[in-house]
Amino acid sequence: MTAKADAAGARRATHRRARFAGLALGVAAVLAAVAACGNGGTGAGAQNGFQPVQQTGGKLTVWVDSTRLPAAQLYQKAHPAVKMDIVTYDGDANGSNYLQTKVSLFNRTRSGWPDVVFSSQNNEASWAVQAGFTAPLNKGLISDATLRGWAPGANDPCMVDGTLYCLRNDLAQTVLWYNAPLMKQWGYQVPKTWEEYQALGKRLATEHPGYLVGTAGDNFTPEIYLWASKCGANRITAPKAVKVDTTSAECTRMAALLDSLVQNHTMATSSVFSSDFDKNSADKVLMMPGPSWFGGSIFNEAFKTPAGQIAAAPLPQWAGDNAPSVGNVGGGTWLLSAHSANLKDAADFLTWVSTSDEYQGKVSPGYPAYAPAAKAWLAKQTSSGYYSGDITGPLQTAAAQVWPGWGYGQFSQEAIWAATVTPGLTAGKTIVSMLPDWQKAVTDYARSDGYEVSQ
Amino acid sequence: MSTVSTTARPAGSPSRRRRATWPGRGGHLFVAAYVVLLIAFGVVPTVYAVYFAFTDAGDNFAGVANFVAAAGDFRYLSAIGHVALYLVCWLVSLVVLVVGLALVLHRVRSAGVSRVLRFLYYIPGALAGAASVMVWLFVLDPTVSPVSFLMRALGFSTFGEVVAPGHLPVLFTLIAFWTGAGGWIVVMYGALNNISPDLLEAARIDGAGAWRTAWHIQIPLLRKWIVYMMILAFAGGTQLFVEPQLLSQASVGVAGRDYSLNQLSYDFAFQNNNVNTAAAISVELLLIGLVVAGVFVARSGFFDAD
């Protein structure tokens, strides 16, 4: 009986082993199949230059954020013959990395890439070229004559080793926005230097407490202030090399200025997008350094500042500094997929959306990077009657003064600042005291993205 | 009875033969769909993750290199610390408050009040995880919060002050408790109902009050349910992702997008394009969950027969 039971048990064990082996083989086969699908995800474009896929035409898939949705819709209206699938996504706002995440997955599944994408981030080329996602645009897809229309340096974030991989949508050069009637009423002069700006902030704290000369609470604070001060927080020296120095005199002078104004409460520590700024401070802005899109998006749409109040002036400069410099906050880029099976329509859409007066000149909320459209855009702003005075001069001047020493690395400067400096600022620490922490954070994140970091 | 015996099929009928060759087929059919989904979306991805964790980008065997790479990242230790601190807050509050509230609920005499309370406890759990966090993003902003008076009394006037890094373990615990504890309260309430009324009556006759009854009778009898809750809550807690990810977006990065280990894994996969190291972290989380579950089960006699 025992022997029989043992034999039966052995047979069952053998069967179990056989079944397990079968299952293991099945799992291994599935894994092998999945692994095979996962291999070579970067595609031929990453190593061998651009090799278009078979052009079969078909529907043009376009990804835009909600702000750029009218652009795609206008194109569709003007080109009814083009079949389009317009998809809205977050536009990678706040460095969400949505596009990179999806492209990484599409690369694995080898399908799903959109034909054209708008991103609010200027550093997309830093990863998208390596991922084989973007097509080179200055190798025949977009004519040289068209490309010459962009403002000088506007497409620098899109250049990798001399090849253009995206098109800049708008410039986001910083100027000094201010409330003209209030300035006049209180007898203040618009500051021309940062020293005058600081002195006016000191005077404002005494004479009109509660009013503001700006805010240091945004995650793009470094882009507005420290970039304009020529602080070398991330000077990209090679595709995978960066020089990080956040404690230079150029950095500390601006950090100290911000600290003094935060201390006397003329500079807020909340973001212009936060509900508490909107509720408590939106109508208390005397001055606010900010990008070109602040005029329409912040003062007009978010703060609902009445017409005839907001004016623009050149960004203050440091006394004695011979080379004027301003910062930049965003600007956005358009990318064309190297995997597109409809390159003709994709290139046509890309060209139209970034150059046309119908969108860029008349609808776009930001200062177009394409110079002819910028002229139309400025004319429209002037004729809108919203601004106090003509904002053309300051914006055009600033467009050529963006300091070129601030790089567009793969790591998000905004996210690093937000996680490293903003909580300390909220807790009452000075920015000057946190500059070394900022340096360490930039260095750590750059290294984790594969950059060689020098100090 | 006679009808049954006369209409019964002979032993060798086709139906009988099918039953004999496939006993319990009804049960198999019931679980078949689940098993298929479990294999497709549970087992295969897990095995695939293990495969990734021990290979490099070129599909070559990499030993423990990916685990070493993860441990060497500057965010790794801080992420472990964040998750550990959150787990302490989350598990302690879960056990104390869930058991406490279930005991209180069990003592409510009015059936109507009990039903309403159970319904209210359960509602937050019916919201999807991300939606729950979105609700909390409004609750935690003093400018728009319905309990802004409470936050101002605590000294917070801006969202930035509320989501300061030091507050995050407590905030995530609040969100997780609000989202997930209601269901457990209802489960514990059910378990309390299974305790024999005779036992409670005997305790009452012996002079035990509510506290002594709870401490010496009810809580020991809830032990297995508490252990079960701890195992699942621990596994869920180590997977912390949605709360910090959404809070990071809402606070424009102040909360940090690499706060937890799962976020770090996500960053490795999609920021650094390093799926192998991302998989190594997820395999570590799996192992930790299994080990802790094993310890809980072994120490508590979870599978012992009553």
CATH number at residue A350: 3.40.190.10
Q: Where does a domain end: A369, A399, A419?
A: A369
- Confidence (pLDDT) at A13: 43
Task: Find which of A80-94, A249-263, A354-368, B104-118 is predicted with most confidence, using mean pLDDT.
Answer: A249-263
Same domain as A265, residue A204: yes
- Confidence (pLDDT) at B6: 42
Same domain as A8, residue A135: yes
Q: What is the mean pLDDT of residues A44-65?
A: 78
Write out the CATH class of domain B74-300: mainly alpha
Q: What is the mean pLDDT of residues A293-311?
A: 95
Tens digits of per-residue pLDDT, A360-392? 999 998 999 999 999 999 999 999 999 999 999
SS3 label, residue A383: helix
- Confidence (pLDDT) at B13: 53
Chain A residue closest to B264 (CA)? Answer: A448
- Per-residue pLDDT in tens (0 to 9) along chain B, 306 residues: 334 444 445 444 555 555 556 777 888 888 999 999 999 999 999 999 999 999 998 889 999 999 999 999 999 999 999 999 999 999 999 999 999 999 988 888 777 888 888 788 877 777 766 787 888 888 999 988 999 999 999 999 888 889 888 999 999 999 888 888 888 888 899 999 999 989 989 998 988 888 899 999 999 999 989 999 999 999 999 999 988 988 887 776 777 788 999 999 999 998 888 999 999 999 999 999 999 999 988 887 777 765
Least confident residue range of A90-94, A168-172, A217-221: A90-94
Residue A145 lies in a domain: yes
Token pair for B268: 């490795």
Same domain as A238, residue A249: yes
Same domain as A339, residue A288: no
Helix or strand (DSSP H, E) at A355: helix A343-355
- Confidence (pLDDT) at B18: 55
A82 half-sphere exposure, CB direction, 13 A CA radius: 22
Residue A374 lies in a domain: no
Token pair for A137: 């645009």
Query: Which ranges constitute the DSSP H helices of chain B?
Result: 2-7, 14-21, 25-38, 44-53, 65-72, 76-107, 111-126, 129-139, 148-153, 159-162, 168-193, 197-205, 210-213, 219-221, 223-238, 242-250, 261-270, 275-300
Residue A134 lies in a domain: yes
The DSSP code sequence of A282-338 is GGGBSEEEEETTIIIIIIIIIS-PPTT-EEEEPPPB-TT-SS--B-B----EEEEBT
Residue A377 lies in a domain: no
Residue B204 CB: number of other CB atoms within 10 A?
A: 14
Distance CA A119, CA A169 (A): 9
Distance CA A191, CA A204 (A): 13
Q: What is the mean pLDDT of residues A66-80?
A: 95
**Closest approach of chain B CAs to the CA of A124, in angstroms?**
11
* Statement: residue A14 has pLDDT above 70: no
Task: Spell out which residues of chain B touch residue A271, defining contact as CB-CB under 8 Å.
Answer: 160, 252
- φ, ψ of residue A171 to 5 degrees: the values are -90, 150
Distance CA A396, CA A297 (A): 19
Same domain as A260, residue A239: yes
Same domain as A314, residue A249: yes
- Give the total number of structural domains in chain A: 2
Residue A258 lies in a domain: yes
DSSP A112: -
DSSP A53: P
Q: Are A231 and A248 spatial neighbours (Cβ–Cβ below 8 Å)?
A: yes
Option in A35, A95, A448 nearest B74 (CB): A448
Residue A300 CB: number of other CB atoms within 10 A?
A: 18
Same domain as A16, residue A59: yes
Residue A381 lies in a domain: no
Residue A164 lies in a domain: yes
- Confidence (pLDDT) at A35: 39
End-to-end CA distance of chain A: 81
For residue B259, give the nearest of A312, A423, A303 by alpha carbon. Answer: A423
Mutation pick from B271, B277, B281 vs chain A, by most beta carbons of A within 10 Å, is B271
- Confidence (pLDDT) at B17: 55
Residue A161 sits in which domain range?
2-171+330-369
Contact of A121 with chain B, judged by CB distance below 8 Å, is answered with: no
* Statement: residue A245 has pLDDT above 60: yes
Same domain as A335, residue A318: no
- Confidence (pLDDT) at B305: 61
- Confidence (pLDDT) at B20: 59
Where along chain B do its domains lie? 74-300
Same domain as A318, residue A346: no
Q: Where does a domain end: A341, A369, A397?
A: A369
Question: Global pTM?
Answer: 0.82
Interface of A with B in 11-40 (CB under 8 A): 27, 30-31, 34-35, 39
* Statement: residue A284 has pLDDT above 60: yes
* Statement: residue A19 has pLDDT above 80: no
* Statement: residue A52 has pLDDT above 60: yes
Tens digits of per-residue pLDDT, A173-226? 999 999 999 999 999 999 999 999 999 999 999 999 999 999 999 989 999 999
Of residues A287 and A33, the one with the higher pLDDT is A287
Q: What is the mean pLDDT of residues A402-422?
A: 91
The DSSP code sequence of B231-287 is HHHHHHHHT--HHHHHHHHHTTTTT-TTSSHHHHHHHHHHTS--HHHHHHHHHHHHH
SS3 label, residue B55: strand
Same domain as A341, residue A303: no
For residue A202, give the nearest of A281, A263, A271 by alpha carbon. Answer: A263
Distance CA A339, CA A112 (A): 9
Same domain as A245, residue A335: no
Test B271 with A100 for CB contact under 8 angstroms. Answer: yes
Q: Taking the alpha carbons of A77, A78, A81, A82 in that order, is the dihedral positive or negative?
A: negative
Option in A30, A271, A427 nearest B164 (CB): A427
Distance CA A418, CA B267 (A): 17
Distance CA A142, CA A168 (A): 13
Query: CB within 8 A of A430, min separation 6: which ones?
Result: A255, A259
- Confidence (pLDDT) at B49: 96
Q: In which residue are the tokens 């046309």 written?
A: A356
Distance CA B257, CA B245 (A): 6
* Statement: residue A21 has pLDDT above 70: no
Option in B48, B73, B157 nearest A34 (CB): B48
Same domain as A181, residue A52: no
